[in-house]
Amino acid sequence: MQRGHLPLACLACLLLMSTACTVGPQYQRPEVQVPTDYKESPPASFKAADGWKAAQPSDDVSRGQWWEVFQSPELNALEEQVDVSNQTLAVAEAQLRGARAAIGVAQAALFPTVTASASVIGARQSLNRPGATNPSSATRADYVLPLDASYEIDVWGRIRRNIEASTASAQASAADLETARLSIHAELAVDYFVLRGLDAQRQLLDFTITAFEKALELTINRYNAGIASQIEVLQARTQLENTRAQAIDLGVQRAQFEHAIAILLGRPPTGFSLPPASITVLPPAIPVGLPSELLERRPDIAAAERRMAVANAQIGIAQAAFYPTVTLRSLIGLESSSLTNLFSWPSALWSFGAAVVEIAFDGGRRQAVTEQARAAYDATVALYRQTVLTAFQGVEDTLSTLRILEEEAAQQAKAVQTADAALLLAINRYKGGITTYLEVIIVQSAALTAERVALDLLTRRMTATVLLIKALGGMWGISPT
């Protein structure tokens, strides 16, 4: 082989080596135990619902405006403001952009680093230096225009593993953004329904106060007529004032939830208010789907899985440190002692070379880093499996909650009906002079408690439905069949 072809041959060999191998384990998603069906059955209303079907989603598919299933225009208008103004989502979105930019940083290592510079050096040497015989060489100039390039050949896949890790990290950040978005939308819906439940309770108390005012007026008239005692008047007045106090106390909780909604919308509470209104819809039927779909729906599961891929790539990066680093360097440019002939061919200079660097001794540092990377990967595997288990628990919890609350609400409706009938009978007995007002008070309190419990159950069912949607990872492509 001719001497001039030797550098080209070496370069070709090194380039072939750059695609030779990638050290470290190849990533495979660990198996997790997935049940064939959920233990808790959905509520009866879910089973009997018509016009709904379970979609086949993936984590990267848009979840859509799942809150529209509640058919509340006011809630829809509030939810649409979250993605625009919520500051927590703004943080997650910025972190995602940073993670995607990190991919470009990692990919840049696949290309050579080229630096260009220009220098002018003037120097005067001592005429009295040893061996100085030519006075004209005492002062000289040096003009240099070099172009320096260096390139690390990715022989063992360290750079490729770094790109792999950065890509998986960006995907995990994207899943984190979806997790934050799902959580904040769900939190807004929960706060909204709790606030509306408080409004419904206030409406019930206001109606009860009106009824108690009429009862007090009736008792006073009976007292003036000598039919009722003064103690009955005081009992009626006490009951009325207690109910008024309960109605006022609801304002504390309502104000707090209204403030929380304002913060979720990225607005100061000072300039935000929601007019009172009550819940006018029942919990809708939600398509639960199969447990296996949960692994695709839940963005937090996707994030945990991507972080396993990051940790797996880190093992390869650690193992690549055991192998030598191969670097190519080249230099081309111009150098002259005069600007007049700087750009002439005799002023050209070039150099080309390769360096192989291997760590001879590091006191076990590389081995420790590798073991650390393996331990980190094992931790992400355990975290992934725990995330899956927690996700199944969330679905099971909300399914059982909805089923039990639906049964309790049906039973409570009977209690309300019975309490209303007892109240009507007690009032008629009191008007007829058969009983004292104490009986009316007892029955009125029981009726009010029964109705407040019924309203509380409706609020809990609405919020549990929201939590079920959140536990399922959102809803995709759900439409009437």
Alpha helices in 275-349, H assignment, sequence order: 291-297, 299-320
Which pLDDT value is given to residue 412? 97
The mean per-residue pLDDT over the stretch 233-244 comes to 95
What pLDDT is attached to residue 344?
87
Residue 18 phi, psi dihedral angles, 5° rounding: -65, -20
Dihedral sign, Cα of residue 285, residue 289, residue 293, residue 294: positive
Summarised one tens digit per residue, pLDDT across range 154-202 is: 999 999 999 999 999 999 999 999 999 999 999 999 999 999 999 999 9
Q: What is the extent of the structural domain holding 176?
A: 32-111+162-323+366-471
- Among the listed residues 249, 287, 255, the one whose alpha carbon sits nearest the alpha carbon of residue 270: 255
Q: Is residue 481 part of a domain?
A: no
Rounded-to-integer distance, Cα 194 and Cα 187, Å: 11
Q: Check residue 105 and give its pLDDT.
A: 95
Q: Kindly state the average pLDDT of the residues 60-72.
A: 76
Lowest-pLDDT choice from 231-235, 291-295, 428-432: 291-295
Q: Is the pLDDT of residue 216 over 50?
A: yes
Decide if 237 is inside a domain: yes
The pLDDT-based confidence of 61 (bands split at 50, 70, 90) is very low
Asked if the structure places residue 303 within a domain, the reply is yes
Query: Model pTM?
Result: 0.85
% residues pLDDT > 70 (the chain): 88
Mean pLDDT of 88-101: 96
241 part of a folded domain: yes
pLDDT value at residue 92: 95
pLDDT > 70? residue 203: yes
Q: Is pLDDT at 12 greater than 60 in this prediction?
A: no
- Those residues with Cβ within 8 angstroms of residue 124's Cβ, 6 or more apart along the chain or in another chain: 138, 139, 140
Pairwise CA distance, residues 256 & 278, whole Å: 17
Question: Is a pLDDT exceeding 60 seen at residue 366?
Answer: yes
Overall average pLDDT of the 55-63 stretch: 44
Q: Which range scores top for mean pLDDT: 152-156, 262-266, 285-289?
A: 262-266
pLDDT in tens, 117-143: 998 888 877 766 676 666 555 577 888
Angle, vertex CA 303, rays to CA 298 and CA 305, nearest 5: 95
Q: Say what percent of the chain tops pLDDT 90.
A: 69
pLDDT digits (tens, 9 = 90+) for 312-323: 999 999 999 999
Place of tokens 């005067």: 124
Write down the pLDDT at residue 96: 96
Indicate the average pLDDT of the chain: 88
Residues 252-266 have a mean pLDDT of 97
In this structure, is residue 62 part of a structural domain? yes
250 found inside a domain:
yes
- Kindly state whether residue 141 falls inside one of the protein's structural domains: no
Is residue 460 situated within a structural domain?
A: yes
Q: What b/e sequence results for 257-286 when a residue is b if at least 16 CB atoms lie within 10 Å of its CB, and e otherwise?
A: bbebbbbbbeeeeeeeebeeeebeeebbbb
Tokens of 15: 């380039």
Query: For residue 278, what is the domain's CATH number?
Result: 1.20.1600.10
pLDDT in tens, 22-47: 898 999 988 888 888 888 877 877 65
Q: How many domains does the chain have?
A: 1
